[in-house]
Amino acid sequence: MRLPDSLRRLAYRMGGREPTVEDERLVALFRNRAELKKELNALDDERHRLLDRLKLQEGSTMRAEEQMVALEQYLGRAEEGYKCLAYFRLRALWRTASRRLEQFGAELARQQKDRERKAQVTAHEHRKRERMAAVERELIEARVLAEQLQAEQKFAHQRLGQLAGFWNYFRRRALTEAIATRQQRIETALTQVTDLQDQLHAISSEPPPLFEGIGIEGRRAINLAVIAYAEMIFDRLAADNLAELARQSTLKRVFDTDYGTQPDCQALMQRAAQAVAEVERLGEDLADIKARADRMRRTVAYRQDDDVLPVAESISTAAPAGAHRGASPNMLLDEYWDIYRALVR
């Protein structure tokens, strides 16, 4: 443990000698050595951390290069080329549906935010008008009282001027005391008028409160609508099993897929291309979305009162009207169209 310089000098003086210049230089040298050692340890730790990151990056680069080589060899076989094209066309379909769903969720969130913010401002302005009306009533009463007292005071001063002669001495004294008392009431009334005017100005200048975000019920409604829209996209693509094939393209590697012969792959690519165009043009059937969301709302459950993401198992599913197949899969359980990216938290 190093002693402070003042204590070290005191120890030298008590020992009968003063610290020399050489002693001072030696102490400074040891101090600099300790600081340099700390910096060296910190740099050494940083070096090891960067080396670890470099090893991880080298491993990732090596795996990417191996995958690239394997893909080149795979694509080099003519019989596999069409399968790869079909695979990546299905991946494009998945990304298109995912992007469309995310845009839908973002637009719903923006609209809900605008509605709730507008409702908040409207409620604030309503409360402010009610408070201002109450203060204005008090202000009118205070002004009437002040004007009445001032009129009475003016009349009392006139009356006091008319009471001449010693025989009116006691009347003048009583009237003078009444004038002094009334003057205090006038000052109090005028002060109240000023305070109420200041209060009225302060209320009228109050800005709307800060918007703290969409409420729980609003976010729950958005999420149910997003799930309903994801289900609607699935139903549009379910006829040729394109929805499930697109999902499998995100779960399997291209090497592990099999779409049949070359004509089968070409037909699948054509259907996928048409589906991409259909999803991009897909509108927002609000009546269908509302019906689906209302159906889910009857069974939906949340783990906690402040949760906005529903329990996946509580989402009810149903077959579309007129369809000759079973119910749609659970969008949350199967994570169709990367749905969790579109849901609001």
State the Cα–Cα distance between residues 262 and 157, nearest whole angstrom: 114
Q: What pLDDT does 56 receive?
A: 85
Could you tell me if 163 and 172 are in contact, meaning their C-beta atoms sit under 8 angstroms apart?
Answer: yes
Q: Could you give the angle at the alpha carbon of 138 between the alpha carbons of 137 and 141, nearest 5°?
A: 90
Distance of alpha carbon 127 from the chain centroid: 26
The residue behind tokens 């043009």 is: 281
Check residue 19 and report its DSSP letter: P
Q: H helices then E strands: how many in the chain? A: 9, 0
**What would the pLDDT profile of 126-156 be if each residue is shown by its tens digit?**
999 999 999 999 989 988 988 898 888 888 8
105 CB-near residues (< 8 Å, 6+ apart): 222, 226, 342, 343, 344
- Report d(CA 162, CA 340) in Å as an integer: 91
Distance from the first to the final alpha carbon of the chain: 54
Least confident of 83-97, 126-140, 158-172, 195-209: 158-172
Q: CB 187: neighbour CB atoms within 10 A?
A: 12
Helix H, strand E, coil C: the string for 225-279 is: HHHHHHHHHHHHHCCCCHHHHHHHHHHCCHHHCCCCCHHHHHHHHHHHHHHHHHH
The predicted pLDDT at position 74 comes to: 62
CA distance 171 to 169: 5
- State the amino acid at position 308 in one-letter form: V
**Model pLDDT, residue 93:** 92
Taking the CA atoms of 184, 164, 162 and 159 in sequence, report the sign of the dihedral they define.
Answer: positive
The amino acid present at 161, given as its one-letter code, is G
What is the pLDDT at residue 18?
A: 58
User: How many CA atoms within 13 Å lie on the side-chain side of 299?
Assistant: 10
Q: What is 170-210 written as a DSSP string?
A: HHHHHHHHHHHHHHHHHHHHHHHHHHHHHHHHHHHTPPPPP
Mean pLDDT on 169-195 = 85
Q: What is the pLDDT of residue 1?
A: 44
- From the CB of residue 242, how many other CB atoms can be counted at a distance below 10 Å? 24
Average pLDDT over residues 220-236: 92
Residue-wise pLDDT for 273-295, tens only, equals 899 988 888 877 788 888 989 99
**pLDDT greater than 60 at residue 69:** yes
- Burial (0-12, 13-18, 19+ Cβ within 10 Å), 109: buried
pLDDT the model gives residue 158: 84
- Span 332-344, pLDDT tens digits: 888 899 999 999 9
Rg for the chain (alpha carbons), in Å? Answer: 42
Model pLDDT for residues 12-50, shown as the tens digit of each residue: 555 555 556 666 776 677 777 778 888 888 888 888 888
Above pLDDT 70, what percent of the chain? 86
> Given pLDDT bands bounded at 50, 70 and 90, which one contains residue 167?
confident
Q: What pLDDT is attached to residue 324?
A: 47
pLDDT at 95 over 80: yes
Looking at residue 71, its pLDDT comes to 66
Please, what is the average pLDDT of the chain?
83
How many CA atoms lie less than 13 Å away from 20 in the CB half-sphere? 3
Q: In the chain, where are the structural domains located?
A: 5-73, 81-119+214-342, 122-204
d(CA 211, CA 344): 17
Longest dimension (CA), the chain: 133
Span 69-93, average pLDDT: 77
DSSP 255: G
Q: Alpha helix (H) ranges present in the chain?
A: 5-14, 21-75, 78-162, 169-204, 216-237, 242-251, 262-281, 286-297, 339-342
Could you read off the pLDDT of 300-345 as tens digits, one per residue?
999 998 899 999 888 877 665 555 455 678 888 888 999 999 999 8
